[in-house]
Amino acid sequence: MCGIELADFLMANDHVNKKPGTENTITLHTIGFQLGKAWRTIYVDAINNKRVYKIDGIYYYDEAGSEPVPAGTKLKNGGYEEDVKGTATNARAVKFLKRLASLNADGNRNFYAAETADDLLKAFNNIIAEAMNARTVIVNSPTTARLINISSRAPVRGGTNNAIAGFIIRGTGTKKVVIRADGAGLGNRWNGAKVLADSKIVLYQMINGSYQVIATNDNWQSDSRANEMPDEMQQLLASSDAGLVMNLAPGTYTAIVQPATGNTTTGIALVSVNDVDDTSTSKLINISTLAPIEGGQSNVIAGFIITGTGTKQVVVTAQGKSVKLPPERLCQDTTMNVYKMANGKSTEVANNDDWQEGAQAARIPTHLKPSEPSDAALLLNLGAGAYSAIMGCIGGTGIGSIGVNAVD
Ligand SMILES: [Ca+2]
Ligand SMILES: [Ca+2]
């Protein structure tokens, strides 16, 4: 406990410098706070999406050593100002704190309860992300639950039976994600499972109406940003598993997981898209995976993690006949079971055979409703935790598409 309380946000000033007769409008946000007796200040150049740091009296854009800006000079497109700890500023701080403490239109308090240094850093990141996008300083409420990891475990059989994971990022800025295809690493965790021994990822982005390859990886350690992958993820991967660290713009993406060694060695792989960036205002909102449903250990399983407080509304879908592929290749009647994982145990929270029979069926957004009544779908309000959804196929096998979609 660092003794940091809400009231330690002492200042937040917006500086708008307008040059008469031009459109040169610069917004520089200055955010100050007090940590014990030490003052810290962060400057945000909202126009250029940069942060300005002062280290030993020298200002830098983005990080130390990048572009030193001598103290006392104006920045290229704007300026910075030192905080003034005078009466006028403190009066503004009090006014700002009062505004924060008032209820917003949603009935929430825009206050961040920072009790530790880590909390404070998160609060700052929220403020900065908000400042860069909205160009006004608002302290985010941290109470919104969000999806941070979505994955699908599926057989990878080569050619048209590869696992194809589609996902969508929505928002205003880029999102840093780790995309993984755990094959041999999954085998290490599951002794004896028939895993894909050597996986490869090809990542496509929808650009001007068609999918274009934007990245590929065979073995994750060869990715140029592999060192940015969180340690706990690195430990899960075998050297033959594929992994990419990417900053992705809002858009529609498809990751195809395939055998690296032609189509001769096939097996189960876990494809996942992991949000490793809690400062971005962009969100990972869905993943869907197209894969063969083979029953038992080879069934298709979607895993997802919800973090934060409150609940997150999600729609999970298991589509067979609704998939636009030749009908003879599809599962004719899919099912869905959703489990919550806690303390090493999984407990079923919901199940569905045909989506129109679900209690909340009418509330499923139109674009997520399966076109065929034999497909399964559930709308659920879920609290923080780790979940899995298993797609089954009544009476046989066939290709299905499992999807996890954040709704609210
Ligand atoms: Ca590989
Ligand atoms: Ca069904």
Q: Check residues 244 and 264 and name the one with the higher pLDDT.
A: 244
| pLDDT tens per residue, range 284-311 | 777 778 777 777 766 788 888 888 777 8
In the structure encoding, which two tokens stand for residue 90, read together? Answer: 């403190």
**The pair of three-digit structure tokens given for residue 370, joined into one six-digit string:** 């399966």
pLDDT of residue 301: 82
Residues for the chain: how many in total?
408
CA 198 – ligand 1 centroid, Å: 4
Answer with the residue of higher pLDDT: 339 or 284.
Answer: 339
pLDDT of residue 12: 28
387 or 24, which is more confident: 387
What spacing in Å lies between the alpha carbon of 218 and ligand 1's midpoint? Answer: 4
Residue percentage of the chain with pLDDT more than 90? 24
Using one digit for the tens of pLDDT, what is the confidence trace for 73-120? 333 333 333 333 333 444 444 444 444 434 344 443 333 434 444 545
pTM, rounded to two decimals:
0.59
Helix (H) or strand (E) holding 147: strand 146-156
Residue 354 has pLDDT above 70, yes or no: yes
As a whole number of angstroms, the distance between CA 283 and CA 281 comes to 6
Which ligand is closest in space to the CA of residue 356? 2
Q: What is the 335 CA–ligand 2 centroid distance (Å)?
A: 5
Interval 242-264 mean pLDDT:
88
> The tokens of 369 are what?
């409703």
Q: Which two tokens stand for residue 303?
A: 């895993």
Looking at the CA of 238, name the nearest ligand: 1
Whole-number Å distance between alpha carbons of 148 and 144: 12
Which bound ligand lies closest to the C-alpha atom of 185? 1
What distance in angstroms lies between residue 320's CA and the mean position of ligand 1's atoms? 29
Distance CA 243, CA 297 (A): 23
Give 390 Cα–ligand 2 centroid separation in angstroms: 13
pLDDT for residue 146: 64
Parallel, antiparallel or unpaired: strands 175-182 and 300-319: unpaired
Ligand 2: distance of its center to the CA of 317 in Å?
11
Instruction: Determine the pLDDT at residue 198.
Output: 92
Task: Say how many Å lie between the CA of residue 260 and the centre of ligand 1.
Answer: 5
Task: For residue 370, give the ligand nearest its CA.
Answer: 2
Closest to 7 (Cα-Cα) out of 87, 118, 92, 113: 113
- How crowded is residue 357: how many other Cβ atoms within 10 Å of its Cβ? 10
**Residue 208 to residues 77, 183, 212, Cα–Cα distance (Å):** 33, 33, 9
User: For residue 337, what pLDDT is reported?
Assistant: 93
pLDDT band, very low/low/confident/very high, at 148 (cuts 50, 70, 90): low
Give residues whose Cβ lies within 5 Å of ion ligand 2.
Answer: 333, 353-354, 374
CA 216 to chain CA centroid, Å, is 20
Per-residue confidence band for 71, with pLDDT thresholds at 50, 70 and 90: very low
The helix or strand, by DSSP H or E, that contains position 118, with its residue range, turns out to be: helix 117-134
What is the domain partition of the chain in residue ranges? 6-134, 146-406
Taking Cα atoms as reference points, which of 290, 258, 115 lies closest to residue 181? 258
Note the ligand closest to the C-alpha atom of 198: 1
**CA atoms of 337 and 157, how far apart (whole Å):** 24
Q: Report the range of poorest mean pLDDT among 76-85, 126-135, 320-329.
A: 76-85
Cα of 167 vs centre of ligand 2, distance in Å, is 24
As a whole number of angstroms, the distance between CA 389 and CA 229 comes to: 26
- pLDDT for residue 123: 54
Report the mean per-residue pLDDT for the chain: 70
Task: Find the 332 Cα to ligand 2 centroid distance in Å.
Answer: 8
Amino acid occupying residue 70: P
